[in-house]
Structure 1
Amino acid sequence: MMLPTDPAQNLAKLIRCPSVTPAEGGALAVLEDMLKPLGFAVARPTFSEAGTPDIENLYARRAGDGPHLMFAGHTDVVPVGDEAAWKHPPFAAEIANGEMYGRGAVDMKGGIACFVAALARHVEETGGPSGSVSLLITGDEEGPAINGTAKLLQWASARGEAWDACLLGEPTNPERLGDMVKVGRRGSLSATLTVLGRQGHAAYPHLADNPVRGLMTLVDALLDPPFDAGTERFQPTNLEVTSIDVGNPATNVIAARASAAFNVRFNDTWTVESLQAEIHNRLDTASRRRKYRKDRKEPVEFELAWRDNPSHVFLTHDDKLIGTLARSVEAVTGMHPALSTSGGTSDARYIKDYCPVVEFGLVGQTMHMVDERVQLADLETLTQIYRRFIGDWFGSR
Structure 2
Amino acid sequence: MTDVAVLAERLIAWPSVTPASGPVFDELEAMLTPLGFEVERFVAGEEKVENLFAVRRGPPGSRHFAFAGHLDVVPPGEGWSATPFSPERRGELLYGRGAVDMKGAIAAMVAAVAEVPIDAGTISFIITGDEEGPAIHGTRALIDRIRARGDLPDLCLVGEPTSTVRLGDMIKIGRRGSVNIWLEVDGTQGHVAYPHLADNPIPKLVKMLEELGSIELDRGTEWFQASNLELTDLAVGNPATNVIPAKATARLSIRFNALHTGADLVQRVAEVAERHGGRALAMISGEAFLTPPGAFSALVADAIHAETGLTPELSTTGGTSDARFLKDLCPVIEFGLLNATMHKTDEAVALADLEVLARIYTRVARTALSHGSGATV
Q: Using structure 1 for the length normalisation, give the TM-score.
A: 0.89
Which residue of the partner structure matches residue 279 of structure 1? 269
Q: Tell me, yes or no, if the aligned pair for 1:320 and 1:393 is still in contact at 8 Å.
A: no
Partner of 1:293: none
Which of 264, 267, 279 aligns to 1:303? It is 279
- Tell whether the 8 Å contact from 1:18 to 1:25 is kept in structure 2 after alignment: no
What is the DSSP-based 3-state SS (H/G/I as helix, E as strand, rest coil) of the residue aligned with 1:157?
helix
Contact 2:120 2:366 in 1 (8 A): no
Alpha-carbon distance between aligned partners in 2 of 1:227 and 1:318, rounded to the nearest angstrom: 25
Secondary structure of 1:14's aligned partner: helix
- The whole-number CA distance in structure 2 between the counterparts of 1:205 and 1:156 is 60
After superposition, the C-alpha distances for 1:309-350 in whole angstroms (9 at most, x for unaligned) are: 431111113622211001111221111111111111111111
Q: Hey, what does 2:218 align to over in structure 1?
A: 228
Structure 2 letter corresponding to 1:378: D
1:55 aligns to 2:45 (yes or no): no
Give the partner amino acid of 2:226.
P
Match of 1:268 among 258, 262, 268: 258
Q: CA RMSD in A?
A: 1.6
Q: Deviations over 1:47-74 (max 9, x none)?
A: 23xxx31122111111002100010001
1:384 counterpart residue number = 359
What's 2:21 paired with?
A: 24
Identity %: 49
Tell me: CA distance 1:283–1:56, structure 2 relative to 1, closer, same or farther (3 Å).
closer
Indicate conservation of the 8 Å contact 2:183/2:273, yes or no: no
Cα 1:17/1:6, change in 2 over 3 Å:
same
Residue 237 of structure 1 is matched in structure 2 by 227
- Residues 306-321 of structure 1: matches in 2 within 5 Å? 306-307=282-283, 309-317=284-292, 319-321=294-296
CA distance in 2 between counterparts of 1:160 and 1:392 reads 23
Question: How far 1:351 sits from its partner (Å)?
Answer: 0.7
| One of 304, 311, 329 as aligned partner of 1:354 | 329
Structure 1 residue 182 corresponds to structure 2 residue 172: yes
Match of 2:186 among 196, 215, 223: 196
**CA distance, structure 1, for counterparts of residue 264 and residue 281 of structure 2:** 16
SS in 2 for 1:250: coil
Post-superposition shift, 1:15? 0.5
By how many angstroms is 1:303 displaced?
A: 1.4
Distance 2:300 2:221 in 1: 24
Shift of 1:283: 3.7
CA distance in 1, matches of 2:262, 2:336: 29
1:14-43 deviations in Å (ceiling 9; x for gaps): 001111122425111111111112111111
Q: Which of residues 75, 94, 99 in structure 1 aligns to 2:71?
A: 75
**Equivalent position amino acid for 1:242 in 2:** T
Q: Secondary structure at the match of 1:325?
A: helix
C-alpha distance 351-224 of structure 1, shift in aligned 2 (>3 A)? same
SS of match in other structure, 1:116: helix
Task: Name the aligned partner's letter for residue 276 of structure 1.
Answer: V
Distance 2:156 2:225 in 1: 24
- The residue type equivalent to 2:238 in the other structure is N
Separation in 1, partners of 2:203, 2:165? 44
Aligned-pair distance for 1:209?
Answer: 2.4
The code of the aligned residue for 2:182 comes to: T
One-letter code of the match for 2:254? Answer: V
TM-score (norm 2): 0.94
Between the aligned partners of 1:160 and 1:341, the Cα distance in structure 2 is 30
Gaps of 5+ in 1: 288-299
> Partners of 2:350 and 2:136 in 1: how far apart?
32
Q: Is 1:246–2:221 an aligned residue pair?
A: no
CA contact (8 A) 1:212 1:258 kept: yes
Equivalent residue, structure 2, for 1:42: 39
Name 2:138's counterpart in structure 1.
148
Match status 1:332 vs 2:328: no
1:269 Cα deviation (Å)?
Answer: 1.3
Which structure 2 segments of 5+ residues have no match?
Answer: 372-377
Matches within 5 A, 1:5-20: 5-20=2-17
User: 2:110 is matched with which residue: 106, 112, 116?
Assistant: 116
Q: What is aligned with 2:375?
A: none
| Partner Cα separation in structure 1 for residue 272 and residue 50 of structure 2 | 43
Question: Is 2:316 aligned against 1:341?
Answer: yes
SS in structure 2 opposite 1:57? Answer: strand
Alignment check: 8 A CA contact 1:72 1:136 kept: yes
User: How many residues align structurally?
Assistant: 369
Q: Distance in 2 between matches of 1:111 and 1:36?
A: 18
Tell me how far apart the structure 2 counterparts of residues 129 and 350 of structure 1 sit (CA, whole Å).
29
Q: Say whether the 8 Å CA contact 1:328–1:388 is kept in structure 2.
A: yes
